[in-house]
Amino acid sequence: MIVTLTANPSLDRTATLAGPLVRGGVNRIVSVGVEAGGKGVNVARVVTLAGEEALAVLPARPDDPLLAALDTLRVTYRAVAVPALVRTNLAVTEPDGTTTKINEPGTELGSEELAALARRVLTASDEDGWVVLSGSLPPGVPASWYAELVVQVRAAGARVAVDTSDAPLRALAAAFPRSAPDLLKPNSEELAQLTGTDPAALEASAAAGDLGPSVGAARGLLDAGVGAVLATLGAAGALLVTADGAWSAAPPPIVPRSTVGAGDSALAGYLLAATSGADAPGRLRHAVAYGSAATSLPGTSLPRPDQLDVDRVRVQHVD
């Protein structure tokens, strides 16, 4: 089973514009969609759509519309009760797929709520499954919380994947190798945060076909104890670096419509392939297929297996 923890869940409202976003002007909306969101929730949704077992752990009031949305989506969850409703995030998507996100800070969590969330995660995790710690941390949560959870989850025998940024990501890295996860999923900006490199330079070199700087940065994380690095590089595809080697994957041709949930879908695709026994190139291929499929869908839609184009994802070994 794949267990996801979303400490800062949300209702994601996506507004699709008729034309490019005009800052300070009047913008016409073509459509608006509202979905259960948060990075871990998105991973659980994709896994559920694939017909596999997922459990989303999150803080939410019993009458929160987020839980009703998860019920509609048939996503299994375990919620820790909190006083306030979850935050609402806004994404504005332009016709070319450019997405602007405006996120609320979220509901403050205290020590009792954090302890209850950790208990639910540890109780649900098993030696054959994965635990995903994903997304931002809400107010009141120490930046080191993910680092502490990695240690607890690994002690319980489960594999753990982490997808976060900024202060929680830096705190995680500061505690390596003790807090090093089995899988780390940074984008190019987060990979730069971890290694002290220039994110613009990483992106530019990857776009030009030079993956050397990104591979070097990822191998530095492996040297610090991380099991594998799945780095999503936008239009350049993705990179997987393990102790056995490095592979890159180029996405199939798509018409981009929204990047909401693309990284979460890529992580879900990797984990689905990993739990089915796929090798490293196969895991990377499915990650890119899922991420690309998400980008080709409107608003907050997430991909089903029948919407993938796995065979057209080009994977190659990187020296």
> Hey, what amino acid is at 262?
A
Q: Which residues contact 225 (CB under 8 A, 6 or more apart)?
A: 176, 177, 178, 180
Q: How far apart are CA 146 and CA 199, in angstroms?
A: 23
Catalytic residue check, 264: yes
Going by C-alpha positions, the residue among 229, 211, 209, 231 that lies closest to residue 220 is 229
- Other Cβ atoms less than 10 A from the Cβ of 69: the count is 18
Going by C-alpha positions, the residue among 59, 130, 9, 49 that lies closest to residue 294 is 49
Q: How far apart are CA 212 and CA 145, in angstroms?
A: 32
What kind and span of H or E run contains 70? helix 65-73
What kind and span of H or E run contains 32? strand 29-37
Catalytic residue among 63, 264, 306, 319: 264
Assess contact for 249 and 262: CB atoms under 8 A: no
Catalytic residues: 264
